[in-house]
């Protein structure tokens, strides 16, 4: 796993508010103060990625451009992300090349900002940051907002081929991971995890046929990693959650999942960049795939004690109960 490299415009050392939190890779974050100081920096590009794609038009950080997670990052036909040519076209249109430091931010604890960050990493884009606190903190601090859309000259950026393997898991990968006794983190709500409901609270049903969770998964709702102001909790607080409660360890191979991979991309970011785990993948098929797959093993209720690795994913308890 390759972590971001510092660019000439990024701070040589993170500012005190970031460094004091004890993260493994503090260079992956910048503060709202740092962004405010770099609003006119030609080597920085700000990208806003929100769950509510209309928020940008109501006001955004000066100089920021909009990423529509649905239209810009996903293939319009196949359930997959954009390919190399589509990604190149997006980055060129945004006036970005490999020399720029790209800073993502968004609503709801940077939920969709980390999702966009993850997609950019599929193509090996290195100079990526997240603005700690996102829109919430920027607005709470009374910092400037605008409805003006910036325009930058298009670039001739050339992307690497998309490389899913290091940070993305497919269903067959998850089955193999399960058979090896790999660690699974389900970042959905407790009600989704137990099977009481098949969709996010206060969100519409998305067509999942079965409720529950992948056997042996531990439930750590994604938003537990954030403070009320949208900033990330300290490394010590995060370790208490993911290691003290969920039993993870930095050397573990971990697969995170949710319903379509957006909430779990936030947890992927936390484990990879803030806690320094090197073997974390995001299963973006997540529950909308697993919960609809014929005979996929499912457990309901609270998490069960972990057992020894299975020789085959078909040997996992409840494999024959997927019709629940």
The answer to whether the Cα torsion of 52, 185, 178, 2 is positive or negative is positive
**Rg of the chain taking only CA atoms, in angstroms:** 19
Nearest to 304 by CA among 239, 247, 257: 247
**C-alpha span between 43 and 90 (Å, rounded):** 18
Per-position DSSP letters for 70-98, written without gaps between them: HHHHB-SSSSSB--HHHHHHHHHHTT--T
Q: What is the DSSP letter of 210?
A: -
Nearest to 316 by CA among 279, 290, 281: 290
CB 95 within 8 A of CB 45: yes
Residue 185 tokens read as 């983190």
| 293 labelled catalytic | no
Catalytic residue among 167, 220, 258, 316: 258
Beta strands in the chain (DSSP E): 29-30, 44-49, 64-67, 101-105, 128-131, 168-169, 183-186, 218-219, 254-257, 280-283
Report, as residue numbers or ranges, the catalytic residues. Answer: 258
């Amino acid at each position: 796993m390759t972590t971001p490299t510092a660019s000439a415009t990024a701070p040589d050392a993170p500012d005190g508010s970031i460094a004091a939190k004890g993260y493994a890779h503090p260079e992956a974050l910048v503060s709202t103060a740092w962004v405010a100081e770099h609003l006119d920096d030609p080597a920085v590009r700000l990208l806003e990625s929100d769950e509510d794609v209309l928020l940008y038009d109501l006001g955004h950080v000066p100089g920021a451009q909009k990423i529509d997670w649905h239209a810009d990052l996903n293939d319009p036909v196949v359930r997959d992300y954009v390919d190399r040519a589509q990604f190149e076209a997006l980055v060129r249109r945004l006036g970005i090349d490999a020399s720029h430091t790209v800073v993502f931010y968004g609503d709801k604890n940077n939920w969709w900002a980390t999702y966009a960050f993850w997609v950019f990493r599929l193509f090996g884009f290195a100079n990526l940051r997240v603005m700690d606190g996102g829109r919430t903190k920027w607005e709470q601090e009374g910092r400037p907002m605008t409805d003006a859309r910036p325009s930058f000259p298009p670039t001739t950026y050339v992307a690497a081929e998309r490389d899913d393997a290091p940070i993305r898991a497919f269903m067959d990968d998850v089955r193999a991971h399960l058979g090896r006794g790999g660690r699974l983190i389900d970042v959905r709500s407790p009600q989704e995890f137990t099977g009481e409901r098949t969709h996010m609270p206060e969100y519409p049903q998305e067509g999942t046929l079965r409720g529950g969770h992948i056997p042996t998964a531990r439930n750590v709702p994604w938003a537990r990693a954030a403070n009320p102001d949208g900033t990330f909790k300290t490394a010590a607080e995060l370790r208490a959650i993911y290691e003290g409660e969920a039993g993870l360890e930095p050397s573990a191979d971990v697969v995170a999942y949710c319903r379509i991979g957006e909430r779990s991309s936030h947890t992927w970011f936390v484990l990879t960049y803030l806690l320094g785990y090197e073997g974390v993948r995001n299963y973006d098929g997540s529950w909308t795939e697993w919960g609809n797959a014929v005979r996929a093993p499912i457990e309901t209720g609270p998490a069960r004690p972990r057992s020894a690795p299975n020789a085959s994913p078909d040997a996992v308890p409840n494999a024959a109960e997927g019709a629940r």
